[in-house]
Amino acid sequence: MKTYGTRRSRWSDPYRIKRKKTSILSGKNLLGLGLGLGILALGFTVLPRLNSTISRPFKSANIPTAGDGLTSVFNQWSDADSWFIISIPSRFQGQVIYGNNWAKSDKVIALTFDDGPWGTQTEEVLNILEQNNIKATFFWIGQALQMYPETARKVVAAGHAIGNHTVNHRYHRMSPTEAAQEVDDTAKMIYDITGMKTMLFRPPGGVLNNGVADYAKKQGYGIVMWSQIAPDSNPQPPAEVIAETVLKDATPGGIVLLHDGGGDHRTTVAALPKIIEGLRQQGYEFVTVPQLLELQGQD
């Protein structure tokens, strides 16, 4: 089994944060310069923590080129030169990703949590992940972001990857205008609350044909589905059953769908330590979705 501890540099950036080095030196923002130099010294992993301590991200992040897909959306915001972006390799932009097409030897798996942030329930998940030194990926709903902005900031501060899961979690057929609002308004909320931007999108219910995924594709998001789903939605089975199902169905390169928000998911929280322990016993290493895609994109 490979261990990633010896490859720390490869795994130190769960976000694949893109940064524009020249803008650190642009003189626009001395705070940005100071923080930028500090982060160069300390490494990327502390970057979200610093970000959480200031009201705005410093102005050192990258502005994507036209090929990066999301330029048109993100540049419509007045301070588009001051952000961090959770990016994905270009070959996955605008693509639907299932995590079931793994041709690598690495035995990795990505835990994903949907429908939060959700207050103390999410914070319990964060504690378990921290105790186990694992980075995961959280797909947020705009409505939940409005309820739990502090929790959102804690997720980002802990260094997890985040994705867009629309404002209202609707399944119905949407007009182009409504689809755009569902995606763009959530992106704006994520940015306003955390200073982050993300190229990850997960359609509510995995619905790919109601207009919202098509809009996100056109914007260049990676449409992140899953390779296995924990049976943790209503009615929720006991934690042992959730854990056993995840462990039974796990595959290398997989994306596991769990829930930390959208309702009572105490059984998911209770199952999580068993899931982590069992997957580790099977030889799995945990990665974020951007890390998974980066690995998959390597020849």
Residue 92, token pair as written in the block:
């996955």
| Contact present, 14 and 291 (Cβ < 8 Å) | yes
Nearer to Zn ion, 115 or 182 (CB): 115
Nearer to Zn ion, 153 or 259 (CB): 259
- For 32, 161, 230, 284, the CA distances from 39, given in Å and listed in that order, are 10, 18, 37, 30
Nearer to Zn ion, 51 or 181 (CB): 181
- 244 SS3 class: helix
Which residue in 106, 114, 232, 260 is the catalytic one?
A: 114
Q: What is the gyration radius of the CA atoms in the chain, in angstroms?
A: 18
| Contact present, 29 and 54 (Cβ < 8 Å) | no
Please identify the residue of the shown chain whose CB is closest to the bound Zn ion.
114
**Min dist. Cβ of residue 21 to Zn ion (A):** 37
- What is the secondary structure of 22-76 as a DSSP string? HHHTSSS-HHHHHHHHHHHHH-GGGHHHHHHHSSS--TTBPPPPGGGS-HHHHTT
Helix (DSSP H) and strand (DSSP E) numbers for the chain: 13, 11
Angstrom distance (rounded) from CA 60 to CA 290: 21
Nearer to Zn ion, 114 or 260 (CB): 114
Residue 66, token pair as written in the block:
């036209």
Would you tell me which residues interact with Zn ion (CB under 5 A)? 114-115, 204
Question: Left if phi > 0, otherwise alpha if psi is -120 to 50, otherwise beta: which for 123?
Answer: alpha
| Contact present, 144 and 162 (Cβ < 8 Å) | no
**Min dist. Cβ of residue 198 to Zn ion (A):** 15
**Min dist. Cβ of residue 169 to Zn ion (A):** 5
Which residue in 160, 165, 169, 259 is the catalytic one?
A: 259
- Annotation marks residue 259 as catalytic: yes
Nearer to Zn ion, 206 or 237 (CB): 206
Contacts of 183 (CB under 8 A, 6+ apart): 164, 166, 201, 212, 215, 216, 219, 221
- Annotation marks residue 160 as catalytic: no
Nearer to Zn ion, 142 or 204 (CB): 204
**Min dist. Cβ of residue 163 to Zn ion (A):** 11
**Min dist. Cβ of residue 98 to Zn ion (A):** 16
**Min dist. Cβ of residue 111 to Zn ion (A):** 15
Angstrom distance (rounded) from CA 207 to CA 172: 9
Residues carrying an active site annotation: 114, 259
